[in-house]
Structure 1
Amino acid sequence: MIARSRLCRLYLRSVAIGFAAAAVFVALLLGFDVGRLGQLVARDPAGMLAVLMLWIFNGIVFSGVQFGIAVMAVAERPDGSGGPGHRAFSATPVPVTVEARTRSPRPVVER
């Protein structure tokens, strides 16, 4: 039960950060008038609906990215050894000789 509540807190924090980042992104998008989007939103009667949709959809994307980053960060240890199940990869490259075989070219058949 404790692990479930920590996971829920992690998810809700990621959603809050994602939607805050989306709000900043949409504000910058409209403020710098990228593609004259700010003018279009200001002149259209349904402009606020477009801004709301832009914020919600970007918030969903940014939240997913934030949650993915948070989950991946949980698996890492501070000493850099990785989480459980992660072995350090330490292989040295060994050159291998490979014989290259060529096929004789196929005859061109004209129709």
Structure 2
Amino acid sequence: MPRLVRLYIRQVAIGFGLSGVFVALLLGLDVAHLRSLMLSTEGGAIAAFLLFFFNGLVFAGVQFAMTIMRMAEPEDKGPRGGRRKPVATDTVVPVRVAARR
């Protein structure tokens, strides 16, 4: 199996694991009365599954994107940030503007 495919599968598994933890905390702490709402309605199990599944898709995508962005090689092309030569800003330069009548 290619290395990138293995990386993707691993990041998807981590994303869905995080989704499981997130949904468990939401339902365990009864945030916005979600647990009581899911337990009192007929389609509560489907709602819990969909909450887990769609959060898993989002978390897996973010996890994979962060991993891919961290794989970039650092750019070492000259000075950056605070190492630039300071620009003289205290020099007065006259500016001539032609006036119209």
TM-score tier after normalising by the smaller chain length: 0.7 to 0.9
Q: Once the two structures are aligned, what percentage of the paired residues are identical?
A: 45
CA distance in 2, matches of 1:49, 1:9: 30
- Aligned mate of 2:24, from 20, 23, 27: 27
The structure with more helix, counted as a fraction of residues: 2
Question: Could you say what secondary structure the match of 1:59 adopts?
Answer: helix
Cα-Cα RMSD: 2.1
CA distance in 1, matches of 2:54, 2:34: 16
Q: What amino acid is aligned across from residue 45 of structure 1 in structure 2?
A: E
Q: Say if 2:91 is the partner of 1:94.
A: no
- TM-score of the two chains, using structure 2 as the length reference: 0.76
CA distance in 2, matches of 1:95, 1:31: 58
**Which structure carries more relative contact order (alpha carbon 8 Å, separation 6+)?**
2
CA distance in 2, matches of 1:22, 1:29: 10
Closer/same/farther in 2, CA of residues 87 and 26 from structure 1, 3 Å limit = same
CA distance in 1, matches of 2:39, 2:13: 27
Show structure 1 runs of 5+ residues with no match.
Answer: 77-81, 100-111
- TM-score of the two chains, using structure 1 as the length reference: 0.70
Show structure 2 runs of 5+ residues with no match.
Answer: 94-101
Paired residue total: 88
What does 1:25-104 correspond to in 2, within 5 Å?
Answer: 25-76=22-73, 82=74, 86-88=75-77, 89-90=79-80, 91-92=83-84, 94-95=86-87, 97=89
